[in-house]
Amino acid sequence: MMLQETKELTHAWLDSPTARVPPGELILVTDFDGTLADVVPDPSAARARPEALEAVQELVGLLADVIVLSSRPLSQLESLMPISGVRLIGDSGLALPRHAQKEALDSFNAEAARLLQGIPGAWLEPKPASTAIHFRNTDKDGEQMLALLRPLLDGARLAAALGRKVVEVHTPKAGKGSAMAALLPHEDPGGVVAFGDDENDRSLFEYISAIDIPHFAVGVWSPEAPHDLFDRCDIVVPGPAGAARVQWEIVEWARKNS
């Protein structure tokens, strides 16, 4: 999938099946880091781009639902997305782990914390249903980090997925695609638009591209994205600035068709 030029975005959106769905029946779901916000060395310093926040604010009043589905904890999303009416789903929508899964995750966290003491710049972020191992500020690459962590996962019934300078650890077969598969049947929308930029958005793209209602998947490119991540996407745009341009195309379309 090639990156779309700005002038092609309007054409791509208006020619998509989702542009024939009434705005009040359309759901938009988007990631936060790398999609609404630029990725920065310190995640606590990340902020949504102003034009993205403004677009989301407009879309809340025009579409059936606007969902921010992020691997961040819900408490962080609430401070980062201070917009009334937007639905915030943290921790990639993962269900709280059962007792045995929680014990496995706690054991992994304890062992991983000891391991990371020997890797300057790496740090562990426990969440309700998962753990993130951040290594952007280290001299390690993703494969090296996975190799170090893999012995801690053997027999633990946990899965590790490599993202943008982060390793996400959670129960197997869980993620954003599963979260949306549980949510959408209850919503019964006329169409869905999805935005994402990282490996943990792959299952979202796969789910959205397979549903039998109009859908439009937007890949948000970065040099860190796996080469095949956007194979199921309808368009690929350059970074959060490109994502915001698509969101504003949807705003303008929804205003004219509401």
CATH number of the domain at 65, please. Answer: 3.40.50.1000
* Residue 75 forms part of a structural domain: yes
- pLDDT value, residue 4: 57
Region 120-141 average pLDDT: 94
- Out of 136, 170, 204, pick the residue that ends a domain: 170
Token digits for 164?
């943008």
The answer to whether residues 186 and 233 belong to one domain is: yes
Residue 1 lies in a domain: no
Lowest mean pLDDT among 90-99, 137-146, 201-210: 90-99
Instruction: Confirm whether 83 is domain-assigned.
Output: yes
Structural domain total, the chain:
2
Mean pLDDT score, 4-31: 87
pLDDT above 70 (res 7): no
Tell me the average pLDDT of the chain: 93
Output the pLDDT for position 154.
Answer: 82
Domain termination site, one of 144, 170, 196: 170
Residue-number span of the structural domain to which 129 is assigned: 99-170
The percent of residues above 90 in pLDDT, for the chain, comes to 81
Measured CA to CA, the distance from residue 50 to residue 238 in angstroms comes to 17
Q: Is the model more confident about 178 or about 4?
A: 178
**Together in a domain, 18 and 56:** yes
Give pLDDT tens digits for 81-105.
999 999 999 999 988 888 888 899 9
Question: 198 pLDDT exceeds 90?
Answer: yes
Phi, psi of 211 (to 5 degrees): -75, 155
Give pLDDT tens digits for 210-251. Answer: 999 999 999 999 999 998 999 999 999 999 999 999 999 999
Per-residue pLDDT at 98: 84
Cα 186 to Cα 71: distance, rounded to the nearest angstrom: 22
149, 209: one domain: no
**Predicted TM-score of the model (pTM):** 0.88
The residues, ordered by sequence, that sit 6+ positions from 238 with a Cβ below 8 Å of its Cβ are 3, 221
Domain co-membership, 159 together with 253: no
Nearest to 164 by CA among 122, 221, 224: 224
Residue reference for tokens 């002038």:
7
pLDDT at 166 over 60: yes
Q: What percent of the chain has pLDDT over 70?
A: 97
User: Are 72 and 54 members of one domain?
Assistant: yes
Q: What's the rounded Cα separation, in Å, for the pair 215 and 193?
A: 6
**Position with higher pLDDT, 2 vs 200:** 200
